[in-house]
Chains A and B, each alone.
Chain A
């Protein structure tokens, strides 16, 4: 009887130990939230850069001065949001 309670207590301690380890691991994940935010922002900005670049090239060679930039800027913004959506979906799948 006494032996059994001792064993149960031992198991309890083990479980607590593992649980604590898990918590410290999730804390470590929280620290990399800054890099996660940075990842998201680069996705948005890079799509905008490509959109504006294409817009400027189109304007230069087709002579449609403001309209190419406007169109491709908007398309680039959409592409950036699409990129963010994909990253989020991938992260959601992992969890």
Chain B
């Protein structure tokens, strides 16, 4: 634990040396010594303490900037034209400006998660007391907070301890954000270093949020067999009142479930959720239901099924209240970060609020007390459901045909669609009475409704798509495993060796939002491909949901077919967005448990270990948000590569290695101090793939690490080459860079690969004990 801001005021002190009057002693932070493990070199690192590590990474993976526009418009000097080498009035050039925007995004993400954590911890301390113990896995987990311990050096034990860590992360976010001000940082690589710092701080914030809620709310504790629950548009029993909760911060949803349970209403009222709140509701009580990822908001509300809509924070469509009013569903905002212009009724009697909502005197209310949200929402749902009678706003099929006849053929809908869906074609066919094209768009629609906003005659095109697919949507019922939370220490003991040696070919983390280029089925396809190949497949958030929404011929989802354990071939729902650090934490714990490295405040050494040894790859196929940007940044600083889908290119900066630039791929051999060429492993740190096929081949490739044994490398090469041949139709052109010794060559491909190697003049090379850090050498040779 840590003690912060200790102050002593002494009126008068008389000693042998001197006499003091009005003495004040202030100590910034006291870190309690841990007898098991020494404190490392960077406790509570400042925004520059890990700069040298960042620069190592950024030298190997220099940024490639892809500006969204030519100008900067952040101050009144602007707009400044930064195109083709010009500088703005403040002196900034385009590279620095792009990195500054990336830092802004990462700060927004980090602030959001840390704010989320702060609210949650504050609420849980109020509810359960500051001394409530942290417990993410009982006896199965000794290292409760690997990320926080790695970064700060302390091991939090109670909810109160988390507050001390949040004091630090909030300070860091403030400093980082200040660097985006005009006339602060000017060098793009320094901006990028701060992006990595923001990512690390984000990981700490997320970890705190999940530690707190797992511990206080009794979520599954590192449970590989966390219960299965239901997901899909069709999971609600519409004969009952339906409460829909949207967002990320679970206390209001927990308040609803508690009220229903306490009043014997649970089971008589459906509690369903969208986005990460949904995942966390089912961790709280697996009887709750998940409708789907972020893109399911409008389609489900417009169906008229929800009787009451509750929103907390993050990734909520900001004008949902309009659709709520159209279906006659009261709207309850439950977060001070998302007040929606509603009157704050927190301190009003529940009876009055319920009455106003049920009688329709107000469209919605703001209630900043999760327990009161629980009572009001539950009572309103029960009272209003019989009156509303599921009033939806989907048009009838006839209305779609008639509306389509009014289309002006301006193409504005398609030009507004992120996925360029052929909506005009669907409208034209609908005008002739054929609705099949509209129905076919359903799978690829990301639910943004920009088509509707763009339409000059206000055709409700999103509703057209959803109405024509209503039959299919109603059949959507799948099984998803509830979020298990952390990875057990015993699981790490079992797989740590095989991962580091390369015999388990990798850990794939499917995370992020639902801005998919071709629907969520691609995520399920990627997950299953790698589960079959004995990778460990972990998932969080919307990706974890999308993976569940596909059945095989036998009607089973991935979560029913594959075990939930952190082991080869496992498919794990780790939890919500804030559960992501359990994935980073698993990599960190491998270094601690398998390699006996110290964690406490030892970030650089552990990141170096992970980068060179742990074949983990993040995939955010539908990454959309600033939070996704900061989550990725947290993985980058640990040296873990992240692949995003094609829309991820809009993060406007990639971190790319250059495989042919040999000088970039040397490491120290910790045994000898020699510098050894290890090949481009992993080749990239941040990469946007054009197609799922490209992503799948790259996942296998990026799982290679400098430390792979020959057996491990042979396994990894087998997967990469096999996928390349199947999906590209050719052998990879750069095999020679990844084969270090003949023993690396997969036995079934030996002759073919040897021929390629011979043509390229390949020679065997050493396999070092790799490190990028000179201080890790065990010899005086260097």
A, B co-complexed: no
Contact residues of B with A, CB < 8 Å?
Answer: none
Contact residues of A with B, CB < 8 Å?
Answer: none
